[in-house]
A and B are shown apart, each in its own frame.
Chain A
Amino acid sequence: MSNRNETKMVVDKKNYIDPDWLLEIRQEAKALFKDIGFPNSRHETWKYLNLDQDLDLERHIKKTPIRRTERDECVSVLFKNNTPECESILANKNDLIITNFRSAYAEHKELIKSSLSKGLLQNPFSYLNTAQFDDGALILVKEGCKVEGPIIIDLQTHVEEERLKGIHTRTLIVLEKGASATVFVQHHSFLDKPEFVNDYFDIVLKEEATLEFILTQEGDQPYRFETIKASIDTKANLNYVSFVNDCLVTRHDMGVDFIGEKAVVNLAGIALLSSESQYFNHLYIDHKVGNCDCSQVFKTILRDKSLSEFSGLVVVAKHAHGTNSTQSNPNLLLSDNARALSRPQLRIDADDVECAHGATMGQLNPEEVFYLESRGLNKSAARALLTFGFAEDIIQRIKQPLIQHECDLILREGLSSYDKHR
């Protein structure tokens, strides 16, 4: 850590005020949010999530177990509620910069400014985040730098004296040309009162950059909203895996913009849902340019009265020839009272495009159950193993071995009660 940066990082919290340009952006975002208003069921993309519903929220507070793996190799960013604690963990070298926004407004003004003003999804919570976030975290991987171990973003929620008006975290991840990194997001909750959490990740991949981004969520705040916006330039590569382990209400809004050709984006996710959990997964894939590949595989396993909604819109612009975009949404319904809604959509204005989409709803495949039984596993063990395999198929898409192992353990733990089920 260089001295130069260390001195810069000391920010006087009490007397801090946002720079003028930021205040302006915040004003605009606030106006946009007011325009749309707080979403309700009359909004098409918010049809199934009734935010006014009278849920007994406190009943649903679950503390997240603290998880640790051998993390000697990792750098991490710790958010305590709204604020990233970058001072203590700064890996401020020449090729990897991790810093909080306030320390970076001067040096990286254009980067942050363009993210805050342009990197928005048309989503009320993304506006709200821009208007409300306190400080943000910037992860900047410089040209050609290959970051070895995973970068961990630990989003922690703690009790504060004053009740918070929601928690809005903001993270900007920029990989310059040819850079590569793995970012692992996890949540830890130490709250005993329900809190509304609204996280925002802006991902910018320049030419030939490679990012693996893993987002996990566990028994946590009753409302957790995640917005992920990714801009993908020429020959860049994004491997995204999300893992939702039974949170009460989760909404993911993900937008991917292809802005350079020959980029490859793989998006995958698994959600385990039980009791009254609800998971809303909205994707917006914009093929602005051609010759890019995008695959989406989002799976859910639903028990009890849980609900999932998948809405994926793929747009292929008129001149975006040679686009290859696939989408699939297999749902495993383990209870008659669970519901899975699926709306894969394609809007194609170009020729010479390969797109496929599909959703499946259902039970385990009886041929697979029989195959396992024929080797001596009893029916419930066979079912449990297949349910595990259904989810593990997604976890295996995580390339970083440490993180894959960690997610695998969480999955095994999460499913351990399932063989007693049906």
Chain B
Amino acid sequence: MFNIKDLKASIGDKEILKGINLTINPGEVHAIMGPNGSGKSTLAKVLTGHPDFTEAEGSVLLKGKNLLELDPDERALEGLFLAFQYPVEIPGVNNEEFLRMAYNAKMKKNGKDAVDPLDFSDFIQEKLAKLSMDESFLERNVNHGFSGGEKKRNEILQLLVLEPEMVILDETDSGLDIDALRIVAKTVDAYRRADRGILVITHYQRLLDYIKPDIVHVLANGKIVKSGDKSLALELEDKGYDWVEAEAK
């Protein structure tokens, strides 16, 4: 369902992604691990159409459509979702109102009527409960003044509202306390379905204890240098990245 072919991206003269190939079949969960600065977040940004990377080369197919030819909002409406490593704060914009606008953009794309605020309010309550989030988060402004962990949880709330088919999580586990990590990870794991794909970017095995990946990739220096099953994550936790990078050379 999700097919990345020879994806390259640069900032200025600096090439950051140097030809990424990755295929995620429906129902699969893939994990990407890799050293700091290896290009993991860049990959997520390129896939979602961040304005710094409009010149990316290669192709990214989601259900047959080349995402690289689409604007970021069109990619989202095709079913792509990124939970950001660093979600931005948006003062003055009410969280619930924003969620409803995003939800209604999707409804419109699907030829359905917009939901009114009251119906949406009922709909969102149930999602909040799944994440053990307090109702007050709806009244606040988008991520504004949220703690690191609260921001991450708010990203997953958006995921539950928008119900995307292809999900990318960029270090969603970092910043979450032990209980929050369990709640969030279990929620994501419950989100797995035969027609959905999930790509988890993480540094730590603990997230993968809850969301067991089918395949683990190592990204180093802009390339996928190794792929394996979930035991690879354990091996990395044990031995670090040096041996993988050495092997790749």
Contact = CB atoms under 8 A, between A and B. Distances in A.
Interface residues of A, number: 28
B84 A371 contact: yes
B88 A389 contact: no
A381 B71 contact: no
Contact of A374 (B72, B91, B101): B72
B55 to A, nearest CB: 16
Contacts of B50: 370
Contacts of B90: 368, 371-372, 386, 389
B93 A374 contact: no
A375 interface: yes
B162 A375 contact: yes
A378 B108 CA distance: 12
Nearest to B82: A374
A378 B71 CA distance: 8
A369 B101 CA distance: 14
Contacts of A375: 73, 76, 98, 102, 105, 158, 162
B101 A381 contact: yes
Contact of A376 (B93, B105, B141): B105
A283 B109 CA distance: 49
Interface string A338-379: 000000000000000000000000000111111111111111
Given A374-B82, A375-B158, A377-B73, A392 B101 contact: no
A388 B75 CA distance: 25
B202 interface: no
A396 B76 contact: no
A372 B50 CA distance: 11
Best-buried of A368, A371, A372, A375 by chain B (most CB within 10 Å):
A375
Contact of A386 (B49, B84, B93, B106): B93
B42 interface: no
A385 interface: yes
Given A385-B98, A385-B101, A389-B90, A379 B71 contact: yes
B124 interface: no
A258 B45 CA distance: 50
B92 A396 contact: yes
Nearest to A270: B92
Contacts of A391: 92
B77 interface: yes
Contacts of B77: 376
B76 A374 contact: yes
A373 B71 contact: yes
A391 B84 CA distance: 26
Interface string A288-312: 0000000000000000000000000
A365 B93 CA distance: 14
B111 interface: no
A18 interface: no
Nearest to A378: B73
A373 B77 CA distance: 10
Contacts of A392: 92-93
B52 to A, nearest CB: 9
B92 A379 contact: no
Interface in B73-109: 73, 75-77, 81-82, 84, 87-88, 90-93, 98, 101-102, 105-106, 109
B126 to A, nearest CB: 19
A377 B92 contact: no
Interface in A139-161: none
B172 interface: no
A366 B53 CA distance: 13
A367 B98 CA distance: 16
B59 interface: no
A269 to B, nearest CB: 14
Contact of A388 (B71, B76, B93, B106): B93
A393 B91 CA distance: 6
A377 B71 contact: no
A133 interface: no
A418 interface: no
B12 interface: no
B31 to A, nearest CB: 21
B64 interface: no
A393 B75 CA distance: 30
B35 to A, nearest CB: 24
Contacts of A374: 48-49, 72-73, 75-76, 81-82
Contacts of B49: 370, 373-374
Nearest to A390: B92
Given A378-B73, A379-B71, A370 B93 contact: no
A390 B142 CA distance: 12
A100 to B, nearest CB: 39
Nearest to A395: B92
Given A385-B93, A389-B141, A392-B93, A377 B88 contact: no
Given A367-B88, A370-B51, A371-B88, A377 B93 contact: no
B94 to A, nearest CB: 8
Contacts of B98: 372, 375, 385
A391 B91 CA distance: 9
Given A370-B51, A385-B98, A385-B101, A376 B92 contact: no
16 contacts: A367-B88, A368-B88, A373-B71, A373-B76, A374-B73, A374-B75, A374-B81, A374-B82, A375-B105, A376-B73, A379-B73, A382-B73, A385-B93, A386-B90, A388-B92, A391-B92
Given A371-B90, A374-B75, 20 more contacts: A370-B49, A370-B50, A371-B84, A371-B87, A372-B90, A373-B71, A373-B76, A374-B72, A375-B73, A376-B102, A376-B109, A376-B162, A377-B101, A377-B105, A386-B93, A388-B92, A389-B92, A390-B92, A392-B92, A393-B92
| Interchain residue pairs A-B with the least CB separation, the first 8 | A389-B92, A393-B92, A392-B92, A389-B93, A373-B72, A376-B105, A376-B76, A375-B102
Interface of A: 365-379, 381-382, 385-386, 388-396
Interface of B: 48-51, 71-73, 75-77, 81-82, 84, 87-88, 90-93, 98, 101-102, 105-106, 109, 141, 158, 162
